[in-house]
Structure 1
Amino acid sequence: MDDMFNNLPHFLIGIGLVLLIIEVLMGFTTILLLTLGISMILASGLMYVGILDEALLDAFIAVAIIDAVLTLAVWRPLKLLQRDRAPKEVKSDWIGTQFDLESDVAPGKPGTARFSGVVWTVKSTSTLDKGETVEVVKVEVGVLHVQPI
């Protein structure tokens, strides 16, 4: 174990690179691994150029300070990248499809339709009678929004 700390800058840069690789593989989901990995690499660089002593305590202090500064600097921009966005409208081949209704449909009273062995819920903003020909104008998961032709 003593040999592991004989070259502390190499050890820090190795651990820093491993943390950055883990962060990339996880898809930049945590800010901590990113800032900690960069902090270890920067502390290692400071040791290589002689600004920082190659002592374990100095390394811990340097990594902690650099990590705190980096976290404060990148927290808000990275959180903005992770925020939820409005769902995109589904583009589907079903839009424009015409069919005859199998049941009555009214606002607040959906009907059903069977296509390719799947039972779809059919919704409309207007009252439609069974057997009426309609066109699909919007598709959601398991739901066809239709309008009369």
Structure 2
Amino acid sequence: MNLIVEHLPEALLVIGILALIIEVAILGFASFVLFFLGISLVISGVLMLAGVLPETVTAALWSNVILTGLSAAVLWKPLNRLQQENKPQAVKSDFSDRQFVLEEDVDARGLSQHSYSGVMWKLKSKETIPAGTLVQVERADVGVLWVTPID
């Protein structure tokens, strides 16, 4: 304990960097608590090394309380918004862009079927497509190929 107090700025920097590494690498920004704490520890250590803050445990405690609260107040909304901006993206499958001629009329009910790769697939479309039309697979769901006519 005496070693940490003697080298308090360096200890704050090391603990702060470890907290940031754990938050980012291991937890993957799941909770921002270690991130805010790590930022405050690093800033406190730098301020002590620069001589702005005294190298005491009390100064370290209060500066970290204030800096953690301040960083949480400033960065909470932007980081939370950044976390929630995951929009689902359409995945291209092996069936995408496959073209074939319909043997039966196709509509949204999925009564028509098409054999592909040894599997009978239900065919669905947002619009009614007559038999004999060249179509392209738009997307594939479980057991269903959604098709659109090719002009």
Q: Aligning the two structures, in what range does the TM-score lie when normalised by the shorter sequence?
A: 0.7 to 0.9
**Quick one: structure 1 residues 139 and 76, their matched pair in 2 at CA, closer, same or farther if it must change by over 3 Å?**
same
Write the letter of the residue equivalent to 1:52.
Answer: L
Show CA shifts across 1:36-91 (max 9, x none).
11110011112112232222232121111101111111112112211244433344
Q: Is the 8 A contact 1:136 1:144 kept in 2?
A: no
**Quick one: structure 1 residues 108 and 76, their matched pair in 2 at CA, closer, same or farther if it must change by over 3 Å?**
same
1:80 maps to what in 2?
81
Write the letter of the residue equivalent to 2:37.
Answer: L
**Quick one: structure 1 residues 123 and 45, their matched pair in 2 at CA, closer, same or farther if it must change by over 3 Å?**
same
Gapped regions of structure 1 (runs ≥ 5): none
How far is 1:27 from its partner?
3.8
Gapped regions of structure 2 (runs ≥ 5): none
- Matched residue SS, 1:5: helix
Q: How many residues align?
A: 147
**Quick one: structure 1 residues 16 and 141, their matched pair in 2 at CA, closer, same or farther if it must change by over 3 Å?**
farther
**Quick one: structure 1 residues 133 and 69, their matched pair in 2 at CA, closer, same or farther if it must change by over 3 Å?**
same
- The more displaced of 20-29 and 70-79 is 20-29
Write the letter of the residue equivalent to 1:135.
Answer: V
Write the letter of the residue equivalent to 2:107.
Answer: A
Aligned residues: CA RMSD: 2.9
